[in-house]
Amino acid sequence: MIFETLSRRFYIMLDIKIELTKCPKEKPTDESKLGFGKLFSDHMFVMDYTEGQGWHDPRIIPYQPFSLDPATVVFHYAQEIFEGMKAYRTAEDKILLFRPDCNARRLNDSADRLCIPNIPEEDFIQAVSTLVSVERDWVPHSADTSLYIRPYIFATDVGLGVHASKHYIFSIICSPSGAYYAEGIDPVRIYVEDEYIRAAPGLTGFTKCGGNYAASIKAGELAEEQGFAQVLWLDGVEKKYVEEVGSMNIMFKIDGKIYTAATVGTVLPGVTRRSCIELCKDWGYEVIEGKLAIADIMAAAKEGKLEEVFGTGTAAVVSPVKELKWKDETAYIGDGKIGPLTQKLYDTLTGIQWGKLPDDKGWTVEVK
């Protein structure tokens, strides 16, 4: 305890050099057209890693391209991880982050699996907070808009040998993003993927690495061609148990209980997922994290017991599902509208994130 207090007191913060841009970009005047991840703010955070020296030269610089050798490791072997989080503007013009400690920890879990050096949690949070503070005017003002924050680390050794790199770049960019549900919350159709898989035990399913996404694009495109918003992934071994959707975790309310896949290696441990679980438990729901067979879900739908289905993730918060297609069966959920629990989770989480509800859980961190 004493040790912890001492080490915290003497913790050496990053010495972040800040170089401000001489030609700031025009900020968007029409925030209804922001979309997602299309426009980037004026500055970026960059820090280098060199084996033997550790992380060094943390800096905030004008947003700019990297100059990289064509033989840079990340281009060929995808040694890369990322995070996704948001900064929210409250009615009092405070800027809030949501559970950034969870992102810091998850980044390091991803890093361990990809042989990428860890970043101390405090440094990660300081880097994010400092960049968002510099970019605070880029946090949009309209209802339900936010500044999307993308931290990422990639290997920068030059050469085609397959080894853990000795050099890395940790960078953070920010993108002002529009209201996810500008046209109101519209439940989506989901295609249960029966051929391709996203993850398998021992692989990288629990990490946020670009490679997971590269492997998932094909199934996503095929589903989209058939009018589905997302793919629901089944387990990679038996293709029997539900895991997650696209870039979201997924939850099922069946006969009053909440079910979701356990995060045991093949499923990304979402911050929104765990926040929804905590809230559901607070509200007295039984939440079961475990194996849930797609066949049982389809059967529950037939019996009229599949009450609500929703994805959870930072971008959408919650995304209600109205239809699941698995092989030649289709399950219709509720009356095609957002269910009451999904709506309550949405209202509670967005209420806390935008400072409209008291943050009893201490989930938000103000950026000064």
Ligand X SMILES: *Cc1c(COP(=O)(O)O)cnc(C)c1O
Nearer to ligand X, 156 or 312 (CB): 312
Do 139 and 133 touch, CB atoms closer than 8 A? no
Return the number of the residue (130 or 272) whose C-beta is nearest ligand X. Answer: 272
Torsion of CA 312, 313, 319, 325, to 10 degrees: -70
- Select 178 or 205, whichever has its Cβ closest to ligand X: 205
Under rule CB under 6 A, residue 235 binds ligand X:
no
- Burial call 180-212: b when 16+ CB within 10 Å, e when fewer: beeeebebbbbbbbeebbbbeeebbbbbbbbbb
Residue 5 corresponds to which tokens in the numbers above? Answer: 């207090």
41, 110, 247, 266: which one contacts ligand X (CB under 6 A)? 247
Stretch that binds ligand X, among 22-30, 265-273, 300-308, 349-357 (CB under 6 A): 265-273
> Smallest distance from the beta carbon of 129 to ligand X, in angstroms?
18
Spatial distance between the Cα atoms of 280 and 287, rounded to a whole number of angstroms = 7
Q: Which long-range contacts (CB under 8 A, 24 or more apart) does 341-346 make?
A: 341/253, 341/258, 341/280, 341/285, 341/307, 341/308, 342/308, 342/310, 342/318, 343/185, 344/283, 345/276, 345/279, 345/280, 345/310, 345/312, 345/317, 345/318, 346/185, 346/317, 346/318
- Binding mask 314-333 vs ligand X (x if CB under 6 A, - otherwise)? x-------------------
Alpha helices in the chain (DSSP H): 2-9, 73-77, 100-113, 121-134, 210-225, 271-282, 294-302, 340-353
Binding-site member from 132, 147, 188, 248 for ligand X (CB under 6 A): 248
Backbone angles phi, psi at 8, to 5 degrees: -70, -40
Identified binder of ligand X from the candidate list 313, 320, 334, 339, rule CB under 6 A: 313
- CA-CA distance, 16 to 59, in Å (whole number)? 5
Q: How many residues bind ligand X (CB under 6 A)?
A: 14
Per-residue binding string, ligand X, 272-291, x by CB under 6 A, is: xx------------------
Which residue lies nearer to ligand X by CB, 129 or 314? 314
37-76 binders of ligand X (CB under 6 A): none
Closest residue to ligand X: CB criterion: 270
Closer to ligand X by CB, 171 or 263: give it.
263
Give the SS3 label for residue 91: coil
Instruction: Find the binder of ligand X among 79, 108, 165, 249 (CB under 6 A).
Output: 249
> Interface residues for ligand X in 80-99 (CB under 6 A)?
84
Instruction: Give least dist CB 222 to ligand X, A.
Output: 18
Q: How far is the CB of 208 from ligand X (least distance, A)?
A: 5
Binding site for ligand X (CB under 6 A): 84, 208, 244, 247-249, 268, 270-273, 312-314
